[in-house]
Amino acid sequence: MDALETRRAQWAERESNARTYARGIDRVISRGELARVYDSAGREYLDCLACAGALPLGHNHPFIQERVAAYLNSGQLQQALDIATPAKLDFIEQLFQALPAAFAERAKVQFCGPSGSDAVEAALKLFKTATGRRSVLAFQGAYHGMTMGSLGMMGNLGPKQAVNGYPAEIQFLPFPYAYRSPFGADAAETERLSLAYLENLLSDPESGVTKPAMLLVEPIQGEGGCIPASAEWLRGLREITARHDVPLVVDEVQSGFGRSGDMFAHEWAGIVPDAIIMSKAVGGGYPLALIAYHEKYDRWTPGAHAGTFRGNQIALVSGAAALEYLRRPGSLEQVRAVGQRLRQRLQALHSRYACIGEVRGRGLMLGVELIDPNGQPDAMGRPPANSELAKALKRACLERGLILESGGRHGAVMRFLPPLILTLEDADLIAQRFEAALDSLWPAAPATQPAPAAMAL
């Protein structure tokens, strides 16, 4: 054990029980270069986490680093609250060029505290203020953050059970999760029933739900298991909310800025939401969060939402650089091409490994749902999620130089969120390392054979 590893082990005992990634990645990661990171012993890893998607161009990309280094030596401000600065003006110009044109022409922007959670809180406050309504619609499986308002709109019950005091009147809707349909139906019928459920809730005078201040949705559920909504379903959602005068707020914290292969994940449906929540990639690797919304909802008063670090100048510089890079010809085409290559390689494993239930996602936001094909099906006939395999597989991947995280129901979905500058060769190598790790735990075999002894964890 080297000196840094010794210190890591020593100080880990002083860290909170709430720490997460550090438990599985029990290494000192000492440097990074684009899609690769290296630990203190010099071992290389392909990074399919990318700080939960917050590093769109990977680690230390020169296009960002050169801008940041020049800024640090320029004598300009480090922090500026919401005061105008050259860095802020440059960022806003890049942002409005990246936003969908039909949305941008009537949009206003509010800079928030530097986390997605705070931007979600801002949306909650804004639309309750603008509409005068109390209730909010969210979806099962949603992840919107860890502060009290955003946590109240989260689908995952784990972080919610030990605390109380969430905002009242939050109604959860079934998300069109076709592989584990909440209606026990196929994909098309699941989408139809999901929209019918919403239509009924908004039109039934005895639905029990007052008219909502907003409906909050992720176009691709991230932590919920990398579940993409179809373009048809998103169009149906927009039509219903518009007809019932319910603001549609799209959470693009993880799916935005090229992650899906489009600049924003909702764009492929051709819809125009009432607001877009942004964080993670928008800062180019540095903390930044904001909400953009239709100007008609700009009804709050000065100071109604504030935060000391909403003027994070370094993040504005790096964010502007990232947006400029992603808007270059060919950038999003590369994301789509590499994402398709990685998905094809993972799909090939699906046909050979009975423990893979589904491969899904868009662009470089992909998920592999792990199942126990020999386990007891649930009441709807679906195979059980295999959380034990997911835990073991994360470790096996790490040992083979691949950093992955899990999510979804029971933590049984392996999630691929690599930097957007990934190459085709990188995608092949990721698939190879993933297959080697999977094969060490569950060698390819027909679903009728019993689980290998290696899975007795």
Q: How many domains does the chain have?
A: 2
229 Cβ contact partners less than 8 Å away, ≥ 6 residues apart? 175, 176, 217, 218, 219, 220, 221, 237
pLDDT at 209: 94
Rg (CA), the chain: 22
- How far apart CA 283 and CA 359 sit, in angstroms, is 29
Is residue 184 domain-shared with residue 146, that is, in the same domain? yes
Select which of 45, 71, 143, 177 is catalytic: 143
CB 139 within 8 A of CB 172: yes
**Amino acid letter for position 427:** A
Which of 290, 322, 280 is closest to 143 using CA atoms? 280
CB 220 within 8 A of CB 245: no
Is residue 159 domain-shared with residue 232, that is, in the same domain? yes
Q: Which residue has the tokens 């806003």?
A: 92
- How far apart CA 396 and CA 402 sit, in angstroms, is 9
CB 264 within 8 A of CB 252: yes
Is residue 183 domain-shared with residue 301, that is, in the same domain? yes
Q: Which one of 277, 303, 327 terminates a domain?
A: 327
pLDDT at 445: 59
345 in a structural domain? yes
115 in a structural domain? yes
Let me know if 143 is a catalytic residue: yes
166 in a structural domain? yes
pLDDT at 167: 81
Q: Which one of 283, 306, 327 terminates a domain?
A: 327
Tens-binned pLDDT, residue by residue, of the chain (457 aa): 688 788 887 777 777 777 778 788 888 889 999 999 999 999 999 999 999 999 999 999 999 999 999 999 999 999 999 999 999 999 999 999 999 999 999 999 999 999 999 999 999 999 999 999 999 999 999 999 988 888 898 888 888 888 888 888 999 999 999 999 999 999 999 999 999 999 999 999 999 999 999 999 999 999 999 999 999 999 999 999 999 999 999 999 999 999 999 999 999 999 999 999 999 999 999 999 999 999 999 999 999 999 999 989 999 999 999 999 999 999 999 999 999 999 999 999 998 999 999 999 999 999 999 999 999 998 888 899 999 999 999 999 999 999 999 999 999 999 999 999 999 999 999 999 999 999 999 877 554 444 433 333 2
Is residue 322 domain-shared with residue 375, that is, in the same domain? no
Q: Which residues form the domain of 378? A: 3-60+331-440
Which of 106, 108, 114, 112 is closest to 124 using CA atoms? 112
Q: Which residue has the tokens 């924003």?
A: 264
Cα 183–Cα 339–Cα 250 angle in degrees, nearest 5: 50
Is residue 306 domain-shared with residue 344, that is, in the same domain? no
68 in a structural domain? no
pLDDT at 453: 37
Is residue 148 domain-shared with residue 176, that is, in the same domain? yes
CATH of the domain at 37: 3.90.1150.10
Secondary structure class of 347 (helix, strand, coil):
helix
213 in a structural domain? yes
Q: Is the dihedral of CA 20, 26, 31, 34 positive or negative?
A: negative
Q: Which one of 294, 327, 360 terminates a domain?
A: 327
Tell the burial category of 383 from Cβ atoms under 10 Å away from its Cβ (0-12, 13-18, 19+): buried
275 in a structural domain? yes
Which of 195, 260, 179, 167 is closest to 222 using CA atoms? 260
Residue 24: phi and psi, rounded to 5, are: -85, -35
pLDDT at 6: 81
Cα 85–Cα 98–Cα 153 angle in degrees, nearest 5: 90
Residue 79: phi and psi, rounded to 5, are: -135, 150
Is residue 349 domain-shared with residue 320, that is, in the same domain? no
Structure tokens at 168: 């009242």
Structure tokens at 215: 């409906």
CATH of the domain at 110: 3.40.640.10
378 in a structural domain? yes
Q: Which residue has the tokens 């909170």?
A: 16
Is residue 407 domain-shared with residue 432, that is, in the same domain? yes
Secondary structure class of 76 (helix, strand, coil):
coil
- What ranges in 116-162 are assigned the alpha helix state H? 116-131, 148-152
Is residue 305 domain-shared with residue 392, that is, in the same domain? no
pLDDT at 1: 65
- How far apart CA 302 and CA 128 sit, in angstroms, is 16
70 in a structural domain? no
Is residue 166 domain-shared with residue 249, that is, in the same domain? yes
Residue 211 is given by DSSP the state P
Is residue 152 domain-shared with residue 191, that is, in the same domain? yes
Strand partners, 415: 367, 405
**Amino acid letter for position 381:** G
Is residue 87 domain-shared with residue 109, that is, in the same domain? yes
- How far apart CA 112 and CA 103 sit, in angstroms, is 20
